[in-house]
Amino acid sequence: MKDKGTRFFQYILEDNAFRIQLSRSKSMPLAYVKISSEYLTHVGPVEAEKALLSVLEQFGTIHEFANVSRIDLFVDFVSSVDMESWDRHAWVTRASGINAYSVDGEFSGWVIGPGGEISCRLYDKTLEIEQKSKKYYLHDLWKAAGWSGTDKVWRLEFEINRIVLTQKGLSKLFDVLANLNGLWSYATTEWLRLTLPNPDDKTRSRWPLHPLWGYLSSVDWETNGGPLSSRFSAARVPGDDKLFSMGFSTLISYMAREGITDLYAGHEAFITALYNYHEGKSHFLGLPFDDYIAEKVAIKGRQFNSILNSMTSSEIHDQVEQYRKQSDGE
């Protein structure tokens, strides 16, 4: 549970599967929920909705199925085509913004229509995982689908927001899932096309499709979208890559400051200095050092959802009341 809510949703619950914002107002929906991409990759949208309903039923009466506020349709693929081999004029689209991006001088992808009711990204997913998201669980899924482990994987992704879905008469999940082919066709043939520009023809709508776009726009969404992830944890724990990179960087910085070159000597000196520093803080706060550490671990455990609560009913009531007062600004 977050320590504060928002203006319309006073209570926020979050783990690695759901971010649930709950409202006390009868004029607002009971909940506004974001489902994580990792959880969707693990169980799929239908099972995710079932699991979500089982959670929400503990907070109120569910009178109807949830409205879909946004969907992300994407295809991951490997191609020998140079994604930087065309300029922005090759994109024929209803959107106004067309942007190309790079990371450390390496081309990373295109973004069309950022911030709009529909937007598209064609980007280097392998680079994005390495540089930002760290979603390494996708590697196993790609390998199951035939990925070599070294080829660059590109993702074509359309973000379609609620206003477009309702215009198409698609408000509920079962409506959306029954019309994925139509949405993909609309996005890749009417809203956006990648073409081979013809300078002799000023009518851009007549320009021929780029062969790559011909393959991508013909994806059949009625077929199986690929294997589901076999492993999932609701805990939001940082991975080894992040923890050990941060820890190693901190240790090396301390060694450089102190002029220590031996790793083991540096580790011993760092741990001693770390203990002395935080022992002083715990003494200033009037806490036994073990209690100080236990409190710090409990806070992180709550943040990561890695340690289960073991509170009495009165303690739970006190925390709920404190949370309500903070949310209301009391």
- Check residue 151 and give its pLDDT: 96
- Check residue 63 and give its pLDDT: 82
Residues 272 and 167 in one domain: no
318 assigned to some structural domain = no
Residues 214 and 147 in one domain: yes
State the Cα–Cα distance between residues 103 and 109, nearest whole angstrom.
Answer: 9
Mean pLDDT throughout 248-254?
92
Domain boundary among 206, 232, 258: 232
pLDDT tens column, 257-310: 999 999 999 999 999 999 999 989 888 888 888 888 888 887 777 667 666 555
pLDDT tens column, 95-126: 989 999 999 999 999 999 999 999 999 999 99
Q: Of 221, 143, 148, 132, which Cα lies nearest the Cα of 184?
A: 221
CB count in 10 Å sphere of residue 154: 21
Which domain, by its residues, includes 296?
Answer: 240-304
Domain boundary among 198, 232, 266: 232
62 assigned to some structural domain = no
What is the tally of helices (H) and strands (E) in the chain?
12, 10
319 assigned to some structural domain = no
Residues 213 and 249 in one domain: no
315 assigned to some structural domain = no
The domain total for the chain is 2
Helix axis angle, 263-285 to 240-258, nearest 10°: 100
State the Cα–Cα distance between residues 198 and 72, nearest whole angstrom.
Answer: 32
Tokens, residue 15:
């783990």
CB count in 10 Å sphere of residue 192: 24
The answer to whether the beta carbons of residues 163 and 117 sit under 8 Å apart is yes
The answer to whether the beta carbons of residues 21 and 31 sit under 8 Å apart is yes
69, pLDDT greater than 80: yes
252, pLDDT greater than 90: yes
Residues 136 and 200 in one domain: yes
- Check residue 28 and give its pLDDT: 84
Q: In the chain, pLDDT over 70 holds for what percent of residues?
A: 87
pLDDT tens column, 168-213: 999 999 999 999 999 999 999 999 999 999 999 999 999 999 999 9
Domain boundary among 175, 202, 232: 232
- Check residue 177 and give its pLDDT: 93
Residues 168 and 219 in one domain: yes
Residues 285 and 158 in one domain: no
Residues 296 and 167 in one domain: no
Q: How far apart are the first and last CA of the chain?
A: 18
39 assigned to some structural domain = no
pLDDT tens column, 220-247: 998 666 665 566 566 667 777 778 888 9
Neighbour-count burial of 224, counting CB atoms closer than 10 A to its CB (0-12 exposed, 13-18 middle, 19+ buried): exposed
Residues 151 and 205 in one domain: yes
Q: In the chain, pLDDT over 90 holds for what percent of residues?
A: 59
Residues 115 and 188 in one domain: yes
Residues 280 and 193 in one domain: no
Residues 195 and 250 in one domain: no
The answer to whether the beta carbons of residues 98 and 88 sit under 8 Å apart is yes
- Check residue 293 and give its pLDDT: 86
257 assigned to some structural domain = yes
Q: What's the pTM value of the predicted model, to 2 decimals?
A: 0.71
> Which ranges of the chain does DSSP label H, i.e. alpha helix?
37-43, 45-56, 125-128, 137-144, 162-167, 173-177, 180-185, 211-217, 240-258, 263-285, 289-304, 313-327
Residues 142 and 246 in one domain: no
State the Cα–Cα distance between residues 115 and 154, nearest whole angstrom.
Answer: 21
State the Cα–Cα distance between residues 21 and 52, nearest whole angstrom.
Answer: 12
311 assigned to some structural domain = no
22 assigned to some structural domain = no
Integer Rg of the chain from CA:
25
